[in-house]
Amino acid sequence: MQIRTLLAGSAMLALLAGCAAGPTDGPAGAAVEPDEERYQGTLPCRNCDGIDLDVLMRGDEQAAAEDRTFELNASYRGHPQSPPDETYAGNWEVLEGTANEPDATVYELTPDGEGQIYYFLRLDPQTLELIDPERRRFQNSEMLQLKRQ
C-alpha cells in the first residue's frame, strides 16, 4: 500500500509527532550535518497503529535548487499486510504563504520519479505541519506536526 494512497484514502488525516533540535544522531546512528534538518513523527493509519515518518532535508533556503534535497522514509506499525518500508528522495522548494497566512513559509517536497508531493508549513524553527496541496491547514492540524530532531 503506497503512502500516497493511504494519505489520499484517509483524506490526509495524518498525525506527525517528534522530538528536539540541532545536529544529533539519526535513527541509523548517522550524524546530522549542520546543513541538514531531520523531522520525525507518526501519521495515523486506518488499518494500522501508525506510519512512522522520518524526513531529512539537506541544504538551506538560499541554496541552489539542486542542493536542496530530501529523503522521506515511512514505516508501517502493526499493519495486517506488513507492507515494506517506503523511501522517497527528491528536491524541496520554499513557497511563500498559505491561504490564511500570506507571510508563512511552506516547504514543497517533490520526489524523483513516482510519489506524492508533500507540503509542510513551517510553524517555528522546530516544527513542520503537513498541509494540503492548496496550502490549507487541516482541522486536526495539531496531529499533523513533525518535530525537529
User: What are 29-40's pLDDT values in tens digits?
Assistant: 455 556 899 999
Query: Of 77, 62, 72, whose CA–CA distance to 110 is shortest?
Result: 72
Q: Measured between alpha carbons, how far is residue 6 from residues 32, 69, 109, 121, 127 in Å?
A: 29, 24, 18, 21, 23
Higher pLDDT, 140 or 148: 148
Which pLDDT value is given to residue 34? 64
- Indicate whether this model's pTM tops 0.95: no
Domains and CATH numbers, the chain: 36-148 (2.40.128.640)
Which pLDDT value is given to residue 97? 92
User: Which string of DSSP letters, residue by residue, matches 40-105?
Assistant: EEEE--TTSSEEEEEEEEES-TTS-GGG-EEEEEEEEES-TT-PPPEEEEEEEEEEE--SS-TT-E
Measure the N-to-C terminal CA separation of the chain; round to a whole number of Å.
27
Residue 142 to residue 14: CA distance in whole angstroms: 10
Asked if 108 and 132 touch (Cβ cutoff 8 Å), the reply is: no
Question: Per 3-state DSSP, what percentage of the chain is helix, strand, and coil (rounded to 5)?
Answer: 10, 45, 50
